[in-house]
Structure 1
């Protein structure tokens, strides 16, 4: 797929920057995974496996309480999220790459008289898509800079202490909360650990944002296609504006019936085509969304518990906690927001039909369009655990559940 084939206004420079645009196109053409994809997999597991081994070993080596345990594993969960995304993309790459057809500007056969206006619709919807994909990159960059410039995890606390980390004010500080089977505060172990954790943070933050963009742009392209389909339906008129003369044009009755019938047939076929892609996307994204929401809920609970249990006013610690907390909350919010947009756009087709001149078509097509209206009453959205619909109401329920669980944990400890 060439750059000129992409729908108007969609920014793919992030995928190009990380080489994934080339990787996807090569797989679509040859069916083979190129070196770039393998490098991301190898690099991710090379950096995360040692940390996972040490974290598991720490359970049997150092002393824990609930506050220390939740704090130590709060930094581990994003790494698990990254590995899950890589696994989903690797094993569902064939289906995922087929979904990139949603990015094509010729996904629908748009009438000549509407093409200029459809391009504007694409540009308007893709501004939102570009912004949503930019947010994780900006936020993750802020996390990288702050965590590396101002390391906020006490080595002494991880190695020897329990309770609140804010009570520890001496010793050296590192970036992440991982435990290591040697004296980290000694030379050269401290320097080695600092470099290793910097690499882990830089790699994970950038690759996670890239994979988010990889998945999220397809989601927003599905939304854009639903919006365009609704626009075509609402502009199905007997009298229409000629794109060349910019004046109303009225055809004779036979020509009008022929044109409306032809456009209605194309819209019905495009609607069925779009529903097939939506069903495929829901199937592929179900494990991804389930994992994102599941890990997100855990991080939100841990973050809220740390605030309730820590009882500290240290601005540096609170800011780092807020960054981790908000990082996962942003991704969860964007997935819920994107699913809500698709849900709204898919059901808006029902109203778009009323804005058209569908009732002037012949009897068979009127019956077909009525069936389309009935189908549009059932919304299209993402699901978690294969059946739970995802939308902004879901996000509200997650926030309520997070606070209740964190408050319960705090009360039990006290």
Structure 2
């Protein structure tokens, strides 16, 4: 790729990652080195504050859950605490992955620019690229909006309840965003304000982490799918036009190299996200189950916030499973495309090379949860099924009280 082509590829990839990078700045992380010492210190301070904030937020919820279990182990008292705890625990896992693998992600972005499709492209290839980037942009914006709106519904609900109670002539006190434990009396005026601000900060930080990691994963996965689809199209066009036999062989070898590169790229990305995918897989069904229980049976004042939380949780794990499933099918289509090409017009050497491509493409490439399970729509279905099973159990326990 020429220098100008590489620069254009980097601009287009950077544009697709812009929303995720925007969120990363609020937790003190960046794929680019700091420009000066002041910016470096600012990033480190923000990262430390973000990590300490969400760690204490999760710790305080664990303590509160423990105290609740020891004092009143009723289903309706304990279940509402678990989905926010699960969200915070998932945020800790994801920020650790993002921080620990930051250099890996940066290198993957650079490698992607080398194989990124840049003009001149034929009409069909350009159409595939445009549709993929447009769909990705819509997904990113919707996911960003739902998460931001959801967390601010939680942040403002105590104030809304306060004014509602005042309007009804009831005794009103501004509550708190989350149900947490603190080693001091949080009802003192100054402590009350400080706790409220801290809980807004902790909740918003969790959302920034979730958005940037999920958008990074889905964006990179979407780009792999795009490249696999373009490879699919290139393979179908082999030997469609009469060319010298050496040219057929050269085209096939180039496609094999691209496919191998995409496989390595996918494996590197899978390894980087394996831990967060495992935590996501384990906690998602619990989070969905608990928030559905709360929506159906408890807390009418938090109905809108909890419904937005449910929407976010369903979209979050669904989006990851969708792109994981897309890669499985896109890679399988590579083998079909090679078989549907004009291989019968080529010489034995070219056919043999194409046969090796077909054999390799029949072996699935997939994202996994630490090799425990593949991330696909089948996984999404199992998460929803398990969530319903947990909900049915909790509902039975609640009804039999």
Classify the TM-score, shorter chain. Answer: 0.7 to 0.9
Whether 1:325 aligns to 2:332 is no
Report deviation, 1:71: 1.5
Report what 2:255 is aligned to.
267
2:77 pairs, out of 40, 56, 68, with 68
- Within the candidate set 93, 100, 121, 2:102 is matched to 93
Q: Does 1:131 align with 2:138?
A: yes
- Matching residue within 5, 11, 27 for 2:9: 5
User: What is the aligned partner in structure 1 of residue 233 from structure 2?
Assistant: 231
Given the superposition, is the C-alpha separation of residues 7 and 392 from structure 1 closer, same or farther in structure 2, using an over 3 Å criterion?
farther
Q: 1:331/1:45 Cα in 2 relative to 1: closer, same or farther (>3 Å)?
A: same
Q: State whether residues 54 and 181 of structure 1, in contact with CA within 8 Å, keep that contact through their aligned partners in structure 2.
A: no
Of 44, 52, 55 in structure 2, the residue corresponding to residue 49 of structure 1 is: 55
Question: Shift of the alpha carbon at 1:295?
Answer: 1.8
The reply on whether 1:305 has 2:293 as its aligned counterpart is yes
Q: Higher helix fraction: Structure 1 or Structure 2?
A: 2
Residues 45 and 26 of structure 1: CA distance in aligned 2, closer, same or farther (over 3 Å)? closer
> TM-score under structure 2 normalisation?
0.83
Counterpart of 1:164 in structure 2 is: none
1:220 to 217, 222, 226: 222
Provide the secondary structure at the position in 2 that maps to 1:389. coil
**TM-score for the superposition, normalised by structure 1:** 0.80
Return the alpha-carbon distance in structure 1 between the equivalents of residues 248 and 140 of structure 2.
38
Q: More relative contact order in 1 or in 2 (CA 8 Å, sep 6+)?
A: 2
Quickly say closer, same or farther: Cα 1:50–1:383, change in 2 above 3 A.
closer
Residue 282 to residue 15, structure 1, CA distance change in 2 (3 Å): closer
1:342, distance to aligned residue in structure 2 (A): 0.7
Correspondence 1:24-43 to 2 at 5 A: 24-26=31-33, 38-43=44-49
* Cα pair 1:304 1:403 within 8 Å, conserved: no
Tell me which of 173, 176, 191 is aligned to 1:174: 176
Is the CA contact 2:20–2:216 (under 8 Å) kept in the aligned structure 1? yes
CA distance in 2, matches of 1:78, 1:34: 29
2:94–2:213 contact (8 Å) kept in structure 1: yes
**Correspondence 1:294 to 2:303:** no
- Unpaired stretches in structure 2, ≥5 consecutive residues: 163-169
Cα deviation per residue 1:7-37 (whole Å; 9 max; x = unaligned)?
858523224534669932449xxxxx96576
Q: Superposed, which structure 2 residues align to 1:10-409 within 5 Å?
A: 11-18=16-23, 23-26=30-33, 38-58=44-64, 61=67, 63-65=71-73, 66-101=75-110, 103-104=112-113, 106-107=114-115, 114=121, 117-151=124-158, 171-239=173-241, 255-307=243-295, 309-310=297-298, 314=300, 316-409=301-394
Count of aligned residue pairs for this structure pair = 378
SS of 2:180's equivalent in the other structure is coil
